[in-house]
């Protein structure tokens, strides 16, 4: 079950965190993994780990916010069956404390980057007779999170794009779903704590963990296994859906 043999999977932001976990799980399940990553050394490190397990992987240095770069990479890769739009950046701030340049940068990466990859992927999926697109949304798209104005806005757009793509391409055998993680423990969390709570990292880590009703942060591998199911043939009846993976954050966080 959940085999991805004979499938080519493009994973953006596959050099760290959730993207890295997805790349490794997909390779383990037989996919030829194509990592799109801005940071070359991160991509190479993940590729080394995958190859050590006899997986098939290729890396491409690409800024998803640049449409020409994205199109060139997808044309180089050729026909694909899977796209995981995982690349993204974070931002902390309210509407009145978010600078215009920060808002624009977030939209360029988290919204336009997703559009660019879908725009480039659809022609390659047509060559394969269909495919699956997974967009990484967030619980921030569905519930209010303090100081996440721009990030929530971007993830809300990703959720809307998912529905639009699912409807537009349903008769071309192209499925599109989104995943909405709550807080997942990645290197970003360590950096966030170090930069904002120096000397209090352990205390704040516990506080962040407790914001999830289940009492801990998610693990990147847990998100990867959900992505695996949604991209597998076993999920062929699923399109136009969002899947929270949030330790109860959305439904159980009400006092």
**pLDDT tens, residue by residue, 181-236:** 999 999 888 888 888 888 999 999 999 899 899 999 999 999 999 999 999 999 99
> What's the pLDDT score for residue 255?
56
3-class DSSP assignment, residue 250: helix
What pLDDT score does 188 carry? Answer: 81
> Structure tokens of 61?
């240095």
Q: What residue ranges of the chain have pLDDT lower than 50?
A: none
* Catalytic residue positions, numbered: 151
Nearest of 158, 64, 159 to residue 120 by alpha carbon: 64
- 153, 151, 163, 152: which is closest to 118 by C-alpha? 163
pLDDT at 191: 84
pTM here is 0.96
Q: Is the dihedral of CA 143, 116, 123, 25 positive or negative?
A: negative
Alpha helices in the chain (DSSP H): 17-28, 40-52, 67-77, 100-107, 113-128, 149-168, 187-196, 201-210, 220-231, 249-252
> Which of 132, 89, 87 has its CA nearest to residue 236?
132
CATH of domain 8-182+220-245: 3.40.50.720
């Amino acid at each position: 079950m959940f085999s991805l043999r004979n499938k080519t999977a493009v994973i953006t932001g596959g050099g760290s965190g959730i993207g890295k976990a997805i790349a490794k799980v997909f390779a383990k399940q037989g996919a030829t993994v194509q990592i799109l990553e801005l940071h070359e050394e991160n991509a190479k490190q993940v590729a080394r780990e995958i190859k050590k397990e006899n997986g098939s992987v290729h890396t491409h240095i690409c800024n998803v916010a640049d449409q020409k770069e994205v199109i060139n990479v997808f044309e180089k890769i050729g026909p694909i069956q899977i796209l995981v739009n995982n690349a993204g950046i974070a931002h902390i701030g309210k509407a009145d404390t978010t600078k215009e340049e920060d808002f624009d940068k977030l939209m360029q990466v988290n919204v336009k980057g997703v559009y660019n990859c879908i725009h480039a992927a659809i022609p390659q999926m047509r060559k394969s007779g269909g495919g699956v697109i997974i967009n990484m949304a967030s619980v921030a798209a569905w519930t209010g999170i303090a100081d996440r104005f721009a990030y929530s806005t971007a993830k809300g757009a990703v959720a809307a794009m998912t529905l639009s793509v699912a409807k537009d391409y349903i008769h071309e055998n192209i499925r599109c779903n989104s995943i909405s993680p709550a807080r997942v423990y990645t290197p970003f969390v360590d950096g966030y704590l170090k930069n904002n709570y120096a000397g209090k990292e352990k205390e704040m880590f516990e506080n962040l963990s407790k914001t999830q009703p289940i009492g801990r942060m998610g693990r990147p591998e847990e998100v990867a296994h959900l992505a695996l199911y949604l991209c597998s043939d076993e999920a062929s009846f699923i399109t136009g859906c969002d899947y929270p993976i949030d330790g109860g954050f959305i439904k159980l966080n009400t006092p």
